[in-house]
Amino acid sequence: MTAISPPDTRATSVAPSSVPRRRIRADLRSERRAGWAMVAPAVLLLAAFLIVPVILGFVLSFTNARLVSPEPISFTGLDNFVRAFTADPTFVRSLLNTFCFAAVVVPAQAGFGLLLALLVNQKIRGAVAFRVIFFIPVVTSIVVVSILWKFMYQPDGLINSFINSITFGAWQGTAWLNNPSTALAAIIVLSIWQAVGFHMLIWLSGLQTIPEELYEAARIDGAGAWRQFRDVTWPCLRSTRVFVLITITIAALGLFVQIDVMTQGGPVDATSTLVYHAVRMGYHQQQIGYGSALSLVFFVLVLIVALVQRFLTRDKD
């Protein structure tokens, strides 16, 4: 994250010299007090419900804390992490599933979103209507979306009926969510369906900042559509690209609701994810310490991803 200094919009305002010094000082004091008072509620709430939980999560990761326990909490060092990576095959599987999900969703969703943005950015009638339609799944709750797609993925559901009728019965489809080899792929499809409209809009706002003159100049130089995209659009979208990739990656690593609603991690852990497993251990099995340790693994991944993407996309062009 780049360092951001507060905009000092009032730096140039100098009090008239006729005002007595004491009044200026009193005025500054009241301004300082007002500043503290007005920022206090937000700062206290962020401290209590964001900063404290982050620190608490870090501390609990090294303990055997349970949600309800007669025994006092004791420090267990790195035991939770050792257990996760050596004695908890479901965790390792969850980690791999999460990476697999992100590896597919990040490029697919970013690319699909860009394609949609290019399509609705054309100067054609109805472009706004299409933009609205592509965005509708984003305002639909992911819980609703998960239930709806679970219905469509049923062995005798809409998807299989459709496959059956377009292949004239030659291919029967499968029980998508009950089959370990298709369950994660099925969840990938609906996840992209739900979220891609959001990134279409982000790409679109990036596209609209590109000055039309650049395209005109490129056309005069004889650049076709592909050359215009490669040499004008793509380089101009650098900062948008960073933002889109970071937000999709972080969201993908945090995959939870679809799993909780549709598969509960099954069949045979084929769809268990990092966050799902952390909630299962930390909340359902009440092992707060172990769950916190798994959440910390997730947090470290998020930080690494943010740093790596920052690094890779720094002033390359």
Partner 1 sequence: MAVRDPGERLLRRRRRVWSYLVLVGLAVFFLFPLVFMFVSSLKPDGQILSDLGGWRAFLPLGDISLRNYAGVFDRVPVGRFLLNSVIVTVAIVGAGLVVNSMAGFAISRLRWTGRGVVLSVVIATLIVPFETIAVPMVYWVSQLPTLVLQHGQIEYDFGWLDSYQVQIVPFIANGFSVFLFSQYFSTIPTAIDEAARIDGAGWFTIYRRIVVPLSGPAFATVAILTFLPAWNQYLWPSMVVQDESLRPVMVGMQYFFQDNTAWGEVMAYTSMITLPVLVVFLGCQRAFVSSVAASGVKG
Question: Segment 215-274, which members bind partner 1 (CB under 8 A)?
Answer: 240, 242-243, 246-247, 250, 254, 256-257, 260-261
Query: Can you tell me which of 26, 45, 217, 308 binds partner 1, judged by CB under 8 A?
Result: 45
| Residues 289-308 within binding reach of partner 1 (CB under 8 A) | 291-292, 294-296, 298-299, 302-303, 306
Residue 7 in the binding site for partner 1 (CB under 8 A): yes
Nearer to partner 1, 187 or 278 (CB): 278
With beta carbons less than 8 A apart as the criterion, state whether 303 and 249 touch.
no
Nearer to partner 1, 116 or 270 (CB): 116
| CB contact set of 316 (below 8 Å; sequence gap of 6+) | 238
Residue 50 in the binding site for partner 1 (CB under 8 A): yes
Query: Can you tell me which of 86, 161, 167, 172 binds partner 1, judged by CB under 8 A?
Result: 161
Q: Is the dihedral of CA 234, 240, 242, 245 positive or negative?
A: negative
Minimum CB separation of residue 196 from partner 1 in Å reads 9
With beta carbons less than 8 A apart as the criterion, state whether 296 and 57 touch.
yes
Number of residues this chain uses to bind partner 1 (CB under 8 A): 106
> How distant is the alpha carbon of residue 80 from its chain centre?
26
Minimum CB separation of residue 172 from partner 1 in Å reads 13
Nearer to partner 1, 186 or 204 (CB): 204
Nearer to partner 1, 164 or 174 (CB): 164
Nearer to partner 1, 27 or 181 (CB): 27
Distance CA 26, CA 107 (A): 57
Residue 164 in the binding site for partner 1 (CB under 8 A): yes
Residue 9 in the binding site for partner 1 (CB under 8 A): yes
Piece of the chain touching partner 1 by CB under 8 A; list 97-105, 133-141, 180-188, 230-238: 133-141
The CA-atom distances, in angstroms, between 25 and each of 108, 175, 267 are: 59, 75, 69
Q: At what angle do helices 183-207 and 142-152 cross, to 10 degrees?
A: 130
Residue 3 in the binding site for partner 1 (CB under 8 A): yes
Query: Can you tell me which of 24, 96, 201, 236 binds partner 1, judged by CB under 8 A?
Result: 201
| CB contact set of 48 (below 8 Å; sequence gap of 6+) | none
Question: Cα Rg for the chain, rounded, in angstroms?
Answer: 26
Minimum CB separation of residue 95 from partner 1 in Å reads 15
Query: Can you tell me which of 20, 23, 25, 39 binds partner 1, judged by CB under 8 A?
Result: 39
Residue 77 in the binding site for partner 1 (CB under 8 A): no
Query: Can you tell me which of 20, 25, 52, 235 binds partner 1, judged by CB under 8 A?
Result: 52
Residue 143 in the binding site for partner 1 (CB under 8 A): yes
Minimum CB separation of residue 100 from partner 1 in Å reads 18
